[in-house]
Amino acid sequence: MADTPASPLAGCTILLIVGGGIAAYKALDLVRRLRERGAAVRPVMTEGAKQFVTPLSLASLAGAPVHDALFSLTDESTMGHIELSRAAELVVVAPATANLLAKLANGLADDLASTLLLATDKRTLVVPAMNLRMWLHPATRRNVERLRADGVLFCGPVEGAMACGEFGPGRMSEPLAVVAAIEAALAADTRLALPNLAPGRGALAGRRVVVTSGPTHEPIDPVRFIANRSSGKQGHAIASAAAAAGAEVVLVSGPVALPDPAGVRVERVETALEMLAAVKAALPADVFVAAAAVADWHVTAAAAHKLKKGGEPASLALAANPDILATVAGRERDRPPVVVGFAAETERLMDHAREKLGRKGCDLLVLNDVGPASGTFGGETNEVTILARDGGATAWPRLSKAEVAKRLVRLFAERLDET
């Protein structure tokens, strides 16, 4: 029997800020759900939140002390509000009151919660909860618009009955929906793009990285195309991790339903030919990562109008698409020092991977099983083996795609140091 895939939350740390509203009771269940999935929770409460749930209840469920005072000498001498704001992969505000949203939108920092929100270098996910009139008020709408533009993520609110007896938008999302939003945020990107950060920080500082991600769509007619099941989650995670390590990153992405990673330049393409052109335009680079699942063939003469069903099945004339990985690996003048390919296989994994490594001419090849039972395509986890051109092979355990990306980035940095 196959091992149960680890939750994408396993090993992650969430900084949870609980705002002052009746929906604060849902934060207790949210903590329980996060810890069930292997996440560590660092809880913070506003003074208002303590009017609805007790710090003892929250601390007991979180298995960690509750932080509630900005000028706590004990906390400042051990962790401090700066370290607390940056020691987690994601900051979650649940419930997020109208007051907390206003503070965050306007950069106010007059208590521990608002100071943490301003001092963090991670993305923030807010889970609003308030009376429907407060949610619909023009001031709140302006704040929400500004926060979205700043990259703040939202979960809810939803429409429903409220404690005040009214019905409408403003009800806090249920804990399981919040967990799903947290998982999606972690899978996409959790690092803020802060242009004023000091240069030189990170293992890839001063380096340029080009990453391809997602599938390609090869048109048959205006409404049909040849494609595959790639979601782009692994490629996007690599681009995000490289940016977090200080690199200048260009992400050449096929059609995906993912947000753009923060701090990354994204070039969107549809076909393999477009992807190759975008990659060539992005070179030279220090690292090239071909994580995209590029279609092997394209239709030689795509129809200008939708094909209609006839008596006989239609036949399509196909031609091979360019081999983007081999093209970059074979460049003479500006070949990147580190060229990385991916091998998505369903059987005879190592045999096919070793053959592909030799044929493509890349330095590293990331082998992953994409068979139906693996859950890799579209999933949140991946189990990979890293093959090197010198013949070495290293198998990693099943990890979240974000963690796979972080480990790969460290490997790229080591290879660059060697060269």
Amino acid identity at 215: P
Neighbours of 222 (CB within 10 A): 12
What distance in Å separates the CA atoms of residue 29 and residue 46, rounded to the nearest whole number? 18
Would you say 49 and 20 are in contact if contact means Cβ atoms under 8 Å apart?
Answer: yes
Q: What SS3 state is found at 379? A: coil
208 CB neighbour count, 10 Å cutoff = 18
At residue 292, the pLDDT reads 95
pLDDT of residue 332: 84
Annotated catalytic residue within 12, 155, 164, 362:
164
The low-confidence residues of the chain, meaning pLDDT below 50, are 1-4, 73, 76-79, 193-200
Rounded Cα distance, 209 and 296, in Å: 24
- Whole-structure pTM value: 0.54
Alpha helices in 159-232 (DSSP H): 175-188
CATH superfamily of this structure's domain 13-188: Flavin prenyltransferase-like (3.40.50.1950)
Q: What is the pLDDT of residues 92-103, one digit of tens each?
A: 999 999 999 999
Judge whether 12 counts as a catalytic residue: no
**CATH 3.40.50.10300 spans which residues of the chain?**
208-297+317-418
Q: How far apart, in whole angstroms, are the C-alpha atoms of residue 324 and residue 190?
A: 29
Q: What is the CATH number of domain 208-297+317-418?
A: 3.40.50.10300
Length of the chain: 419
Distance CA 250, CA 211 (A): 6
Q: How many CA atoms lie within 13 A of 139 on its CB side?
A: 9
Q: Which residues contact 214 (CB under 8 A, 6 or more apart)?
A: 230, 231, 232, 235, 236, 253, 254, 255, 256, 258, 292, 293
CA nearest neighbour of 263 among 151, 117, 124, 155? 151
| pLDDT number for residue 317 | 87
Q: What is the DSSP string of 228-275?
A: ----SHHHHHHHHHHHHTT-EEEEEE-S-S-PPPTT-EEEE-SSHHHH
On whether the CB atoms of residues 154 and 125 are closer than 8 A, the answer is yes
Rg (CA), the chain: 24
Confidence at residue 258, expressed as pLDDT on a 0 to 100 scale = 87
- Beta carbons within 8 Å of 72's beta carbon, 6+ residues apart: none
CA distance 234 to 291: 7
How much is the pLDDT for 197? 39
The owner of tokens 């994580």 is 291
Instruction: Tell me what pLDDT residue 375 has.
Output: 55
- The boundaries of every CATH 3.40.50.1950 domain in the chain are 13-188
